[in-house]
Chain A
Amino acid sequence: MLRFLIPLALFLAVAAFLAAGLDRDPRKVPSPLIDKPAPAFVAPVLADGGKTLRKEDLLGKVWLLNVWASWCVACRDEHPLLVAFAKKGGVPLVGLNYKDRREDGLAWLARHGNPYAVSLFDPEGRIGIDYGVYGVPETFVIDKEGVLRYKHIGALTPEVMAQRIVPLVAKLAGADG
């Protein structure tokens, strides 16, 4: 006689999962690159086409990679936070100018401020693909050994900066202190 309770039991199990699913965001995709070496790159610099920057050049220090573009509306929202972050000094902020035109990128920085120690120029998005970029802006934290430690999708907020990025950076920078 208990078998007649099976449909009810199955339904309640499904309902429990649906309830748990209500506070998940089906669009947020976690990065498979966390805790793996950050993808290598050799890229021209935005400000000066003749110069290139390689990932190896950044080993030995903690750094942030911020993906931005002049056509990206949300980048304008987070930009003041980055400018403030850069002013405080500390770890270098490297920009990745993604699928943009050099003139447009430089003009945008001139208008909104340039918090980046240097910006990489990625007009075809190849570096972006290597880093699994799918929505601009995105921000990565990379440690002294070049291992990718954290990825934030979307515009940065004061909460994310204060609760995730700044403490993580402090921890990674002080790791061998």
Chain B
Amino acid sequence: MADDAALEARVTALAAELRCLVCQNQTIADSNAGLAQDLRHQIRDMLQKGRSEREVIDYMTARYGEFVLYRPPFSARTALLWAGPGLMLAGGLGALLVVLRRRQRLAADAFEPDANDDDGNTTQPG
């Protein structure tokens, strides 16, 4: 229970990235389980001795595997995970642009005639 607020903040920030293995999906920052408390002590210990955040993470993964990290490290097997959302976004926007542009080029008779209850006015209902 260090009184040093900055140290505590670093401990909490690290603890919030690590998974409590005896719980069902909680960080070791939030869990009151015995192992979670022990690991928080361990983190505080290591930071007080001057270790870096990177070294603490490596220490935990060496013992518990990558499963203990809530932020999966970028590697060949997680490439799809990290790149996926960006690819979906780019792909979706690209597809939309292509479809809209393609429709611009189509002749008017591919579409329905414009209904006469709409005049493109901003006062139209949404």
Which chain A residues have a beta carbon within 8 Å of chain B's beta carbons? 27, 29-33, 39, 99, 124-125, 129-132, 134-135
Contacts and interface: CB of A to CB of B under 8 A. Distances in A.
Among all A-B residue pairs, the 8 with the closest Cβ atoms: A134-B21, A32-B65, A132-B63, A29-B67, A125-B38, A132-B64, A134-B22, A134-B35
Given A99-B34, A134-B35, A33 B63 contact: yes
A99 B38 CA distance: 10
A152 to B, nearest CB: 16
Nearest to B21: A134
Q: Interface of chain A, helix or strand or loop or mixed? A: loop
Interface string B4-33: 000000000000000001101000000000
Contact of A134 (B24, B42, B61, B64): B64
Contact of B65 (A29, A99, A125, A129): A29
B21 A29 contact: yes
Contacts of A132: 63-65
B76 interface: no
Given A29-B67, A32-B65, A129 B34 contact: no
B56 interface: no
A124 B64 contact: no
25 contacts: A27-B24, A29-B21, A29-B64, A29-B65, A30-B65, A30-B67, A32-B62, A32-B63, A32-B64, A32-B65, A99-B34, A99-B38, A124-B38, A125-B35, A129-B38, A129-B42, A129-B63, A130-B63, A131-B63, A132-B63, A134-B21, A134-B22, A134-B35, A135-B21, A135-B22
B47 interface: no
Contacts of B42: 129
Nearest to B59: A129
Nearest to B65: A32
Nearest to A29: B67
B57 interface: no
Interface string B53-85: 000000001111111000000000000000000
A4 B81 CA distance: 25
Nearest to A27: B24
Nearest to A32: B65
Nearest to B67: A29
A32 B69 CA distance: 13
A134 B63 CA distance: 10
Contacts of A30: 65, 67
B22 A31 contact: no
A5 to B, nearest CB: 16
